[in-house]
């Protein structure tokens, strides 16, 4: 098969593209991203440079493909709404348009559990949880709009699955792990609340396996109802435990500082207001979204992904942490 992975230069997209290329089926794997990446070329992956917001560039990349994995997105919690909308919503609309124009039959879309986050605890929730009326970040707002669009675009020409992996981490992670370690080294890492809230996370290999399983499900099931699936390691830990495992892997001491949820939310509100007033593009150390995320529980019922996709996390958190520790030893941040 000819398969396109958007966001091939990213953490998940790069791992997924290489995993697809390594499969025994001998897929012709293409990626679409802004830059060129030697590691992808060395793996025999064909790269296409372009902008998700440009329909013509996306359309060309979709030409001749049998399946598309759309992992690319503007992530993070800070930045202009127009940038999030252009990449996450318009970019996803362009992917769907390209798929339908060129007869691509299967699309796996990488969403986020934040699309249903309403600022309160999520304890064992499943995919029946509704979208909230209001969002605390442009990322979650635009990812929710994109997810709804993708699922609504499914028809007899295009079969669709959306995945919601939570907190992807592992060797080479450019987001979660460096952020935690850098704040610890700067003495700025704090727990919001007492740290007892349980949180799901996803080791990178398991996130890749979930995408491969979704692709296989689309191949095998000609009649496939479009829906979203939560993905994680299925090992929810207390926030303080997860942080301390990552800190230990990076050779840092356990987190001891704390801030109350109310003070964290107030600090986020003040900093957001100040940064917008001065027009700063730098991300505040705290935002309202981050404050609520860190103060609440986030763990999910994976029954649907296990039953419908055959997803089973293979790498445990402890095994993943051993691999992370070795990688950090060889690649100090």
**Contact criterion met (CB below 8 Å) for 239 and 261:** no
Encoding tokens for residue 25?
Answer: 């089926």
Catalytic residue from among 139, 203, 229, 311: 139
User: 139 an active-site residue?
Assistant: yes
The rounded Cα 248 to chain-centroid distance in angstroms is: 24
Task: Please tell me the distance from the alpha carbon of residue 171 to that of residue 165, in angstroms, as a whole number.
Answer: 17
**Contact criterion met (CB below 8 Å) for 255 and 240:** yes
**Contact criterion met (CB below 8 Å) for 15 and 169:** no
Burial class, 110, CB count within 10 angstroms (exposed 0-12 / middle 13-18 / buried 19+):
buried
Handedness of CA 23, 24, 30, 34 (dihedral sign): positive
Euclidean distance between the first and the last CA atom of the chain, given in angstroms as a whole number: 38
Residues in the chain: 333
Radius of gyration of the chain (CA): 19
Encoding tokens for residue 109?
Answer: 């879309």
Q: At which residue do the structure tokens 């001065």 appear? A: 278
The residues that are catalytic are 139
């Amino acid at each position: 098969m000819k398969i396109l992975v958007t966001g091939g230069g990213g953490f998940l997209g790069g791992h997924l593209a290489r995993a697809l290329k390594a499969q025994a089926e001998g897929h012709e794997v293409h990626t679409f991203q802004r830059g060129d990446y030697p590691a992808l070329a060395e793996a025999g992956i064909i790269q296409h440079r372009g902008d998700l917001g440009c329909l013509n560039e996306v359309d060309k990349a979709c030409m001749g493909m049998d399946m598309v994995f759309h992992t690319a997105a503007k992530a993070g919690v800070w930045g202009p709404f127009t940038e999030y909308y252009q990449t996450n919503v318009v970019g996803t609309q362009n992917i769907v348009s390209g798929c339908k124009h060129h007869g691509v039959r299967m699309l796996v879309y990488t969403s986020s559990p934040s699309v249903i986050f309403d600022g309160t605890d999520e304890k064992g929730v499943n995919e029946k949880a509704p979208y909230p009326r209001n969002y605390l970040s442009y990322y979650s707002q635009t990812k929710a709009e994109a997810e709804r669009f993708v699922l609504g675009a499914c028809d007899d020409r295009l079969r669709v699955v959306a995945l919601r992996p939570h907190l992807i981490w592992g060797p080479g992670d450019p987001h979660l792990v460096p952020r935690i370690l850098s704040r610890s080294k700067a003495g700025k890492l704090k727990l919001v609340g007492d740290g007892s809230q349980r949180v799901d996370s996803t080791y990178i290999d398991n996130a890749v396996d979930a995408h491969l399983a979704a692709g296989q499900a689309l191949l095998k099931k000609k009649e496939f109802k479009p829906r979203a699936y939560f993905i994680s390691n299925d090992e929810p830990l207390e926030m303080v435990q997860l942080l301390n495992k990552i800190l230990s892997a990076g050779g840092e001491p356990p987190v001891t500082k704390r801030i109350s949820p109310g003070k964290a939310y107030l600090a986020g509100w003040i900093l957001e207001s100040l940064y917008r007033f001065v027009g700063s593009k730098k991300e505040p150390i705290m935002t309202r979204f981050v404050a609520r995320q860190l103060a609440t529980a986030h763990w999910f019922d994976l029954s649907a992904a296990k039953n419908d996709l055959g997803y089973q996390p293979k790498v445990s958190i402890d095994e993943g942490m051993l691999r992370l520790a070795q990688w950090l030893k060889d690649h100090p941040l």
